[in-house]
Amino acid sequence: MQSTTTEHRPGRAIALKLGAVFLFSVMAALIKIATATVPAAQAVFYRSFFAFPMIILWLWQSGDLRDGLKPSNLMGHVWRGVFGTTAMALTFAGLSLLPLPEVTAIGYATPLFTVIFAAIFLGEQVRVFRLSAVAIGLIGVLIVLYPRFTVDGDSVSQLAMMGAIMVVAASIMRALVQIHVRRLVQTDSTAAIVFYFSLTATCLSFFTLPAGMVINWEPLWWVNPGWQVSALLILSGMIGGVSQIMITASYRYGPVSMLAPFDYASMIFAVLIGWVLFSEIPTPAILIGAGLVIAGGAAIIWRERQLGLDRSKSKASSTPQGTPS
């Protein structure tokens, strides 16, 4: 197996992270186009299935495939897959109903919910600073959502409101994913986490094909998308796989605390792509709300970094003198 040791190369780390964030925004735009024709569940299958071979090839090339096939906590991977696949399906459904910048802004609520769930499920202490950051971020989410719940009750407005609810639910599901990943990393390798999520997402989304025929529920009905939409869906899967690989690679060259703020560059990419491809111009509510959500999330990231530094200092001070730390 090749070495998995890290080296501090911040320029390369930031370039990889920004490239991945940009590609994820492009993938979201392709999904938005495709979900005008196909249901979200079918789009999830394409996104997962065509990313899966690329991830397997990457794991094989890096020498991590063997570790990826050895799960220590199989049920943990199953639950991570269920929550992650649900989050993906809800996001794709929301993309079909809302502007890209709005979906991106609401999606920034994920770290806010993660802090709440970490306190509930992991027993982490959440003090005033992080609670205040969460409150600021949630106010921002409410500002983004408010116009969707205060418009006339025509069918288009109702669909947009449903899309907003779906994206909020997706953020909650992604927060649950992060909680499960925090547990999984204690027993399983990154390779196993990546491999089994790709596998479970592909299988779970494929099962919606027969389920849709049995249940006879329209949102699960698969359609023949035609070669053009199929090409977009296949491309979205390949781009998603490359993006996932780039994000993983970025953490080999820089710490999470340094790279986390660059996630918010996705708003810039979403605004530009939404304007060019869909003639979407973000409203003042979206911009103000997104700003507050980003401020809350950035404050949480800063605080996590400070806590990490404090823990490192505490560990260093508790190490007996002359003992390698």
Residue 144: exposure state from Cβ atoms within 10 A (0-12, 13-18, ≥19): buried
In this predicted structure, what is the pLDDT of residue 325? 31
**Angle of helix 100-107 relative to helix 10-34, nearest 10 degrees?**
130
In this predicted structure, what is the pLDDT of residue 311? 55
- Nearest-angstrom CA–CA distance, 175 and 291: 20
In this predicted structure, what is the pLDDT of residue 62? 84
- What are the residue boundaries of the structural domains of the chain, listed by start? 8-307
Tokens of 81: 């897959």
**Coil/strand/helix, residue 238:** helix
In this predicted structure, what is the pLDDT of residue 227? 95
Tell me which DSSP letter residue 219 carries: G
Report the 10 Å Cβ neighbour count for 241. Answer: 25
- C-beta of residue 100 within 8 angstroms of C-beta of residue 280: yes
Q: What is the C-alpha radius of gyration for the chain, rounded to an integer number of angstroms?
A: 20
In this predicted structure, what is the pLDDT of residue 313? 57
Give the largest Cα separation in the chain, rounded: 73
Give the closest residue to 31 by CA, choosing from 84, 85, 93.
93
- Nearest-angstrom CA–CA distance, 213 and 93: 20
Per-residue pLDDT of the chain (325 residues), as tens digits, is 344 445 677 889 899 999 999 999 999 999 999 999 999 999 999 999 999 999 999 889 888 888 778 888 889 999 999 999 999 999 999 999 999 999 999 999 998 999 899 888 888 888 888 889 999 999 999 999 998 887 666 777 889 999 999 999 999 999 999 888 888 888 888 888 888 999 999 999 999 988 877 777 777 889 999 999 999 999 999 999 999 899 888 888 887 767 888 999 999 999 999 999 999 999 999 999 999 999 999 888 887 777 665 555 555 444 444 433 3
- Helix (H) or strand (E) run with residue 200 in it: helix 190-206
- Nearest-angstrom CA–CA distance, 239 and 196: 19
- Nearest-angstrom CA–CA distance, 75 and 83: 12
